[in-house]
């Protein structure tokens, strides 16, 4: 095959058989506004630590909905609150991160 300088990533098809929604459901109970995310990415664009660990509340939220490991992102958050300030949906992102940090064992 001709080398175009990029590769195809592994398919990330959503596999409902394998996804564990329990953590997301717990989170929604604690922070109801978590449901309002529309994946616009404002949080990631303003995030103080996105340049180091690729942190973004958007990625955290869809990550836990797909059962991915988001711990590395969570442990880099400094809770500065910029994402809360810019969220067009008014999601309490700081509280969301803080609560998620309690939900892992």
Partner 1 sequence: MIDRIPSGFHPFVIPFLVGMAFVLLYCFGAMIRVLYELSWQDRKKFFLSLLNPKILLKDIKDIFLNCLIHVPLWKRNKLFGYMHSSIAFGWFMIILLGHIEVLLFVPGRINLFYYPIFFNYFVAEDDVTLRGSLLFFLMDFFLLLIMSGIAIAIFRRIKNHVFGVKRMARPTFLNLVGLYSLWAIFPLRWLAESFTAHISGGSFMTIPANWLFRQFLGNELNMLPTWWAYSIALCVFMCVLPFTRYMHIPAEMLLIPMRNAGLKVRSSRKGFARVEFFSCPNCGVCIDACPMTVDNGNVKDCTVYLTRQLRRNNEERIQEISDKCLLCGKCEALCQVGVEGPGLRILERARRDYTVPFLYPAGDKKVESRKVLYFAGCMTHLTPAIGRSVEAIMKKAGIDFTWLDEQGGLCCGRPMFTAGRIAEAKAIVANMEKLILESGCDTLLVSCPICYKMFREQYNLPGVEIVNYIPFINNLINTGRIKVEKSDICYVYHDPCELGRGCGMYEEPRKLLGRSAGIAEAGHNREESICCGGSLGSLSLDFSQRENMTKAALNDLYTSNADAIATACPLCQATFARYADRPVKDIAEIVNNQIL
Give the binding site for partner 1 (CB under 8 A). 33, 46, 48-49, 51-53, 55, 71, 74-82, 84-87, 90-92, 94-95, 98, 100-105
CB of residue 57 to partner 1, shortest distance in Å: 14
Least distance in Å: CB of 15 to partner 1?
Answer: 25
We find the least distance from the C-beta atom of residue 66 to partner 1, in angstroms, to be 18
- Contact between 8 and 54 under an 8 Å Cβ cutoff? The reply is no
How far is Cα 62 from Cα 54, in angstroms, rounded to an integer?
14
> Which of residues 14 and 85 has its CB atom nearest to partner 1 in the complex?
85
CA dist 102 and 77 (Å) reads 14
- Tokens, residue 31: 């922070």
CB of 65 or CB of 99, closer to partner 1: 99
């Amino acid at each position: 095959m001709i080398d175009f300088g990029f590769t195809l990533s592994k398919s990330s098809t959503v596999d409902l058989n394998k996804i564990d929604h329990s953590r997301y459901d717990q989170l929604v109970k604690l922070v109801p506004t978590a449901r309002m995310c529309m994946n616009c990415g404002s949080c990631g664009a303003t995030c103080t630590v996105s340049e180091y660990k690729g942190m973004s509340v958007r990625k955290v939220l869809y990550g836990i909905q797909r059962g991915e490991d988001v711990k590395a992102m969570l442990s880099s958050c400094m809770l500065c609150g910029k994402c809360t300030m810019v969220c067009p949906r008014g999601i309490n992102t700081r509280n969301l991160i803080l609560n998620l940090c309690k939900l892992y064992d």
